Amino acid sequence: MLAFARNNLSRARARTALAMAGITIGVLAIASLGMGGVAFQQSILQGADTVTQSVWLTPGEDADFAAFEERHLEEVRQYVDHPVYTMQQESAGVEAKKASTGATIYGFSHPGEFATADTGQIPDNWRSGALVGPDLADSLDVQTGDSVVVDGERHRILAVLEPTPQSSFVRTDNAVLLPPSQFDRSTYDLLMVRTDSPNEAFETSEDLDGSLNPGRDERYEVNDAEQLIDQFNQQMATINTFLLAIGGISLVVASVSIFNVMLMSAIERKEEIGVLRAVGYHRLDVLRLMLAEAILLGLGGAFVGVVLSVLLGMAINAELLSDPLAFTTEALQYAVMGFVFGTLASFLSGLYPAWKAANARPVEALRD
């Protein structure tokens, strides 16, 4: 039966190719859009490691202190097994040889945890020198090795930083980073606990909140990215649904094309079908033959669509994730979904033409 159906399709190659192309485009739209959405979601979450794997603390609304002191830092450290970093923040004027402007001044105990150097190097044992954000470096027309004056103090630029990722909660593009020892105060505006995974960060956040705020008073405000991640995942799910709907429309158009091909085939082969019925083929045999042709169209088009989708997905993964084979289970599910939908759409499109061909009377078919 399948061989007979394949021979019938090969007799109208142009029409068959166009019908299969429609299914291919529909499957390609569904699978590639889904894979692309998953890759984009992964790239955002990977770029947000600083946020998703961190817990940050600020003075709570019931705190009897406006900034953290060393005793608060030690109190936090006794409840966690992860490194705790400090941050200070001020605003000040910054001067260079050719220009001057205002900027945010950060004091980091470990700047390499918050920023990456574009030129120069961030020292491990940081006691002097400055790190300058890229936008500020452009505004002041300075580079690594030059000097800037912050609040009357001159600092040599050790590195110009890379642009801040969109997901980062510390914006260093228009900022100067200095060692904590360069600040006039010994208090900290923010404490950050760095964990190894988002789930570990969520657990650490709950433990710290319970340990540091045992009563109703909120001395420490403990934050993590769980709510942000949930909101982001919900937004991505909505976007993926919208994209899949667009892909579904193209698959509907392809289904109409297959319906047209199968219906025209049934009309043009009316005499042939009459001969088959006259020599002993039953209605069910004709129905199965026509449906087999529709399924072959769907399988062929869907297979090509999946192959193209995987190749396109590899290109997207290479661009966004730096690994062409970084397919997740969810991404591969979109490929399977596209294949199933493409084959099913082709099968459904062939039902009416197959029924019409199977119910044609042999005598009338031969007379026509």
Q: Which two tokens stand for residue 126?
A: 């940081």
Angle, alpha carbons 143-111-145 (nearest 5°): 20
Q: Are 269 and 357 in contact (CB under 8 A)?
A: yes
Tens place of pLDDT per residue across the chain (368 aa)? 556 556 656 666 777 787 788 888 888 888 888 888 888 877 777 666 667 788 989 999 988 899 999 999 999 999 999 999 999 999 999 999 889 999 999 998 888 887 889 999 998 888 889 999 999 999 999 999 999 999 889 999 999 999 887 667 788 899 999 998 888 888 999 999 988 888 888 899 999 999 999 888 899 999 887 777 787 788 888 888 887 888 788 778 878 877 887 777 777 766 676 677 666 677 787 778 888 888 888 898 899 999 999 999 999 988 888 888 888 888 899 899 989 988 888 888 888 887 877 776 665 555 55
**Is-contact 148 132, C-beta < 8 A?**
yes
**C-alpha to C-alpha distance for 272 and 279, rounded to whole angstroms:** 11
Residue corresponding to tokens 């044609």: 360
Q: Are 309 and 337 in contact (CB under 8 A)?
A: no
Q: What is the pTM of this model?
A: 0.62
- Please tell me the distance from the alpha carbon of residue 298 to that of residue 339, in angstroms, as a whole number: 9
Are the beta carbons of 167 and 120 closer than 8 angstroms?
A: no
| CA-closest candidate to residue 349, choices 281, 293, 289 | 293
Residue written as token pair 């990977």: 46
